[in-house]
Structure 1
Amino acid sequence: MNEGANLKLYSTKGGVTEVTPRLAEAEVHVQHLVEAGMETLLGVQFLASEYSTGPVHGGRIDSLGLDENGSPVVVEYKRGVDAGVINQGLFYLSWLVDHRAEFERLVRDRLGVSAAAQVRWSSPRLICIAGDFSRYDVHAVREHRRSIDLVRYRLFGSDLLGLETVASTGGRLSTAGRARRSLAAPMGDVAHLAPLDELKQALHETLLGLGDVTLVQRKTYRAYQRLRNFACVCPPQKTKILVYVKVDPKEVDLVPGFTRDVTGLGHHGTGNLEVQLRTQRDVERAQDLFRAGYAAA
């Protein structure tokens, strides 16, 4: 697959000059770049690099992390195309699931007791970052029961890194197709709020319709995720549904009663822009905000 090769980047300083994309000289270069900015790039808190799986297993996990929903994350890197990256990553993911206590100790040591208590084992993730992937890789991921993201990278010039999600699946119960059938999962008692129940369904379909979306269910919110969360939906309140979107509020014309800047304010889920939905018309009004969040994720 070489769709990424069609993307062209140009410098406009002193005229228009194409910035030629290239691969890293070594796999470790990509690893260091991603680990240095993992939370910004992947929405994952960095925990460890080259983590040893012990003398019996005899391996080293490139990077370990914890995503914004509390899911453990294994990140594996390849400089170019490597047919073994997915199987290698799954091998390490299986080891991780079998060593939960060890991972939770690592989280506690790096991020604290509260973070360790919130680790979510229902859908551990594998993120593979490589120069490219074959169509067989993409097909295999979409048929797999694990949560896997394939991410293509390119370097531009001396200081630009590009990442593109090639394929993504949310595991057993979280792929877009399965997510459509799982809306009946409890998000609060809405049996007596038929209009809000319909609003929740319309919102759900709208968010899933943006593309390759993974659904992550937590106790206090439902996250809609591409590579990172782009929208978090809280259980319906009496008259409205609150959605927190990964969009910079400073770039939005805020409308009282519809959108609010919650930067620095405590709330469930992730995202600094609060969108208040009371009618299906509000869902339509918010579509551009949802698209912007999805595009940035």
Structure 2
Amino acid sequence: MTEVTPRLAEAEADVQALVESAMEPMLGVRFLATEYSTGPVHGGRIDSLGLDENGSPVIVEYKRATDPGVLSQGLYYMAWLMDHRDEFQALVRERLGVTPASAVLWSAPRLICIAGDFTRYDLHAVREHRRSIDLVRYRLFGDHHIALETVASVAGQGRSTQRRVGASAGHERTPRRQADAMAELAAVVDEVLRGLGEDVTKVPRKQYDAYQRLRNFACVTGRQDKLLVYLKAAPADVGLVEGFTRDVTGLGHHGTGDLEVQLRSEKDVERALELFRLSYAAA
């Protein structure tokens, strides 16, 4: 038996290359570009650009160890991004296609800072800022493993929008009592999912609400008589129950996740709690 001790990378570029090579499974972000130039006037290079599972633009900045400038540098690039939306959408169109480019969620851009550690001033500044920011501590183990730990995660103003799940076109004919019951159930689900951890953030989209850590772990959408929650838990590892859980691998649906959970009452929410925790842990 050999002890594998945690260590920092020899160079910042080593961390960047490792994360960029597997950005989607690590962060839930589709990779777009590395060392992206912000032009001669702005005079900078964004370490990594990406698009997350909900269509939010993502800037990733890396530091080998603790660097008090990582947050201000990331926010500097975030300001550039918001002023160059057309350029970013053109990049998405070139790398991922027309459909993702037309659905970029500009209300919830994200900054992910990955570093050896952060100062207490960084932690305080994140909570005071209006942007969506994740501070992530990394450690390398041996030559083949990396651990990512979320130190702080704050949702920006764009993610705080409140809306009634299931209030889409065609629901006007839904009886008022049933609509109120679904709204109450959605509020319960929202409270339960947010309560799984301090690092949970909510991203409202037109078709669903996503709950994420670094990656989505639950997507909630409404029907007239139930809520559908899509989780990242593996259907093969769950005892599927007809009318309650369903394997939707390969089937089209709103949001992300291959396990569908159908909720019609608060009792169903209690039944689903362990599945919620399983998916949260997987994210």
**TM band (smaller chain):** over 0.9
Partner of 2:233: 247
Partner of 1:7: none
Partner of 1:204: 190
> 2:190 & 2:96 partners in 1: Cα distance?
32
Counterpart mapping for 1:276-295 below 5 A = 276-295=262-281
Change (3 A) 1:183 1:121: closer
Which TM-score applies when normalising by structure 2? 0.94
How far the C-alpha of 1:163 sits from its partner, in A, is 0.5
> 1:58 & 1:187 partners in 2: Cα distance?
45
> 2:46 & 2:6 partners in 1: Cα distance?
28
1:238 and 2:224 aligned = yes
> 1:74 & 1:218 partners in 2: Cα distance?
20
Query: What is the identity percentage for the equivalent residue pairs of Structure 1 and Structure 2?
Result: 67
Partner of 2:83: 98
How far the C-alpha of 1:187 sits from its partner, in A, is 4.3
Q: Is the 8 A contact 2:165 2:221 kept in 1?
A: no
How far the C-alpha of 1:195 sits from its partner, in A, is 2.3
> 2:232 & 2:124 partners in 1: Cα distance?
29
Partner of 2:125: 140
Q: Which amino acid in 1 is paired with 2:203? A: V
Gaps of 5+ in 2: none
How far the C-alpha of 1:249 sits from its partner, in A, is 1.0
Partner of 2:31: 46
> 1:211 & 1:168 partners in 2: Cα distance?
10
1:224 and 2:211 aligned = yes
> 1:209 & 1:254 partners in 2: Cα distance?
25
What RMSD over aligned residues (CA atoms) do the two structures have, in Å?
A: 1.3
> 1:185 & 1:123 partners in 2: Cα distance?
19
Counterpart mapping for 1:127-206 below 5 A = 127-174=112-159, 179=160, 183-185=162-164, 187-188=166-167, 189=171, 191-193=176-178, 194-206=180-192
SS at match of 1:19: coil
Partner of 2:61: 76
Runs of 4+ in 1 over 6 A off after TM superposition: none
SS at match of 1:205: helix
Q: Is the 8 A contact 2:246 2:260 kept in 1?
A: yes
Q: Which amino acid in 2 is paired with 1:99? A: H
Partner of 2:12: 27
> 1:80 & 1:172 partners in 2: Cα distance?
29
> 1:125 & 1:173 partners in 2: Cα distance?
10
Which of 57, 66, 69 is matched with 2:51 structurally?
A: 66
The alignment of Structure 1 onto Structure 2 pairs a total of residues equal to 275
> 1:275 & 1:224 partners in 2: Cα distance?
15
1:36 and 2:36 aligned = no
SS at match of 1:121: coil
Partner of 1:10: none
Q: Is the 8 A contact 2:47 2:60 kept in 1?
A: yes
